[in-house]
């Protein structure tokens, strides 16, 4: 991989893997620690709402910053901030001052830093690898991220919570510190040459206009937004459906982490074979299969509480979602001018990820009044409607957009 993609890519890849391992531990630790303070579906869902709310509030600003300043520098600052916020929560936990509200504050602050890190990380990749290598680079990067974030992180998070909240929160702090060290080894300038003579408002508006005027990216962003709304609605209640003797699945904390590794295994496999699937089936057909896999992963818990069946659905869904991500992110990186990539990525994610807190709130409210299983059925049905969007997302339109970006004079 180093010979094909370069030493700089390996440094970015390694740092990203550690950073995502920290994320994977934290995303399981937060709800598992939270259910020790409350069993309210609304409050548990609210924690996910707090963690994802910054994507709705700060995504556009993060994109403008990624196009104004050195992207590696922003990633270093963001990881330092995330580690610092979580270190304070760890100290508060050790002092006996932990509460559901402390978790909320930490979730908002860490989520805000995440908007800057993720936007910069996705925007820096075309500055490190060639355009024709983007699908391979994204696939390998996603494989590492997903292995750490979903395969290793969740079971590790479950085990650490069993050892104590301080251990569960202190471990990501150490991992982010290691990620910072590796990122410091990445040499070079990763700015876009922005003159900074324009205002942030002007820069944000320019990115929004590009996304709005590109019908292909606009439709894809809306489709991802709908899926993330549905996925987050189910994710926020899954811990209540799965964990504890009174739950439907009756899993332990470590067992819940292991369940989530099924999705991780599928995601890693999907990332590694996405380039080959794209070559065999074409991009549009691959994306249709991705939608159907997403429907399966969300809807199956509505019909069974069997961990093996649900785990199988999560594995398939994880694989197809990774194929979607590799194809669509590589497309976006190819057809967006480099000087605009941070802003377009953030505008895209405002639509695609800004729905996540709304989905979390909706999932909690629906579960409160309808019960847990109907939420899975409703969100599976909503995800099925994404097939309508594939009327616009065709192989011909994607190829035409890439040709136009490669030779804009024509």
State the average pLDDT for the chain: 85
Predicted pLDDT of residue 354: 74
351, with CB counted inside 10 A (0-12, 13-18, 19+), is buried
**Overall average pLDDT of the 329-353 stretch:** 84
* Structure confidence at residue 364 as a pLDDT band (50, 70, 90): confident
Closest CA to 141 of 153, 158, 156, 129: 129
d(CA 6, CA 283): 26
Structure tokens belonging to residue 371: 């019960």
More confident residue, 112 or 410: 112
d(CA 80, CA 265): 29
**Overall average pLDDT of the 150-167 stretch:** 75
More confident residue, 409 or 114: 114
SS3 219: helix
d(CA 407, CA 410): 6
Predicted pLDDT of residue 366: 92
Inform me whether the pLDDT recorded for 410 exceeds 50.
no
Q: CB of 317 within 8 A of CB of 293?
A: yes
**Overall average pLDDT of the 106-135 stretch:** 85
* Structure confidence at residue 102 as a pLDDT band (50, 70, 90): confident
**Overall average pLDDT of the 276-283 stretch:** 92
d(CA 105, CA 54): 12
Inform me whether the pLDDT recorded for 335 exceeds 60.
yes
- 243 beta partners: 251
Predicted pLDDT of residue 398: 92
Q: CB of 43 within 8 A of CB of 26?
A: no
Type and span of the H or E element at 406:
helix 395-406
Percent of the chain scoring above 70 in pLDDT: 96
d(CA 136, CA 324): 14
Q: Report residue 111 CA to chain centroid gap.
A: 11
Inform me whether the pLDDT recorded for 1 exceeds 70.
no
Predicted pLDDT of residue 28: 79
Closest CA to 275 of 131, 124, 138, 123: 138
Predicted pLDDT of residue 2: 42
Predicted pLDDT of residue 257: 72
Q: CB of 320 within 8 A of CB of 292?
A: yes
d(CA 360, CA 238): 11
Inform me whether the pLDDT recorded for 97 exceeds 80.
no
Q: What is the architecture of the domain spanning 9-185+198-406?
A: Up-down Bundle (1.20)
**Overall average pLDDT of the 392-401 stretch:** 92
Q: What is the pLDDT of residues 30-59, one digit of tens each?
A: 877 787 777 777 787 778 778 878 877 888
Residue 83 CA neighbour count, 13 Å, CB half: 22
Q: CB of 68 within 8 A of CB of 116?
A: no
Predicted pLDDT of residue 230: 94
SS3 184: coil
Predicted pLDDT of residue 196: 63
d(CA 239, CA 100): 16
Predicted pLDDT of residue 294: 94
**Overall average pLDDT of the 123-133 stretch:** 81
SS3 198: coil
Predicted pLDDT of residue 360: 83
**Overall average pLDDT of the 159-182 stretch:** 85
d(CA 192, CA 179): 23
Neighbouring CB atoms inside 10 A of 346's CB total 32
Predicted pLDDT of residue 114: 87
Least confident of 160-164, 346-350, 398-402: 160-164
Q: What is the pLDDT of residues 283-323, one digit of tens each?
A: 999 999 999 999 999 999 999 989 899 999 999 998 998 89
More confident residue, 194 or 368: 368
Inform me whether the pLDDT recorded for 195 exceeds 70.
no
**Overall average pLDDT of the 124-144 stretch:** 80
d(CA 167, CA 94): 10
Predicted pLDDT of residue 126: 82
Predicted pLDDT of residue 168: 81
Type and span of the H or E element at 57:
helix 41-57
Predicted pLDDT of residue 3: 43
Per domain, the residue ranges of the chain are 9-185+198-406
**Overall average pLDDT of the 265-275 stretch:** 85
For helices 71-94 and 165-183, the axis angle rounded to 10 degrees is 160
Neighbouring CB atoms inside 10 A of 178's CB total 16
């Amino acid at each position: 991989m180093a010979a094909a993609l370069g030493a700089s890519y390996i440094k970015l890849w390694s740092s990203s893997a550690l950073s995502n391992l920290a994320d994977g531990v934290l995303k399981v630790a937060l709800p598992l620690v939270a259910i020790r303070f409350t069993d309210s579906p609304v409050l548990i869902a609210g924690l996910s709402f707090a963690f994802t709310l910054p994507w709705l509030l700060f995504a556009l600003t993060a994109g403008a910053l990624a196009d104004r300043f050195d992207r590696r520098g922003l990633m270093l600052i963001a990881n330092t901030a995330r580690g610092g916020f979580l270190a304070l929560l760890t100290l508060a936990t050790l002092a006996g001052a932990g509460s559901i509200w402390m978790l909320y504050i930490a979730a908002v602050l860490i989520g805000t830093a995440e908007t800057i890190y993720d936007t910069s990380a996705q925007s820096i990749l075309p500055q490190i690898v060639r355009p024709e290598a983007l699908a391979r680079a994204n696939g390998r990067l996603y494989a590492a991220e997903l292995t750490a974030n979903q395969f290793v992180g969740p079971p590790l998070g479950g085990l650490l919570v069993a050892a104590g909240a301080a251990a569960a929160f202190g471990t990501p702090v150490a991992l982010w510190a290691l990620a910072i060290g590796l990122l410091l080894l990445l040499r070079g300038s990763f700015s876009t040459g922005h003159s900074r003579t324009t205002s942030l408002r002007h820069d944000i508006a320019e990115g929004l206009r590009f996304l709005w005027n590109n019908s292909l990216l606009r439709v894809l962003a809306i489709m991802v937004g709908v899926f993330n709304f549905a996925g987050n609605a189910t994710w926020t209640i899954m811990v209540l459906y799965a964990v504890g003797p009174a739950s439907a699945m009756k899993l332990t904390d470590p067992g819940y982490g292991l369940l989530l590794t099924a999705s991780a295994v599928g995601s890693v496999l999907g990332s590694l074979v996405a380039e080959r699937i794209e070559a065999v089936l074409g991009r549009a057909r691959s994306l249709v299969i991705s939608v159907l896999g997403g429907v399966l992963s969300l809807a199956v818990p509505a019909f069974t509480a069997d961990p093996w069946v649900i785990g199988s659905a999560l594995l398939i869904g994880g694989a197809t979602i990774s194929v979607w991500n590799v194809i669509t992110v590589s497309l976006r990186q190819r057809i967006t001018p480099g000087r605009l990539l941070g802003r377009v990525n953030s505008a895209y994610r405002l639509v695609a990820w800004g729905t996540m807190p709304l989905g979390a709130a909706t999932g909690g409210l629906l579960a409160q009044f309808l019960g847990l299983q109907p939420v899975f059925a409703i969100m599976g049905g909503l995800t099925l409607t994404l097939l309508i969007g594939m009327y616009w997302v065709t192989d011909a339109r994607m190829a035409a957009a890439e040709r136009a970006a490669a030779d804009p004079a024509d």
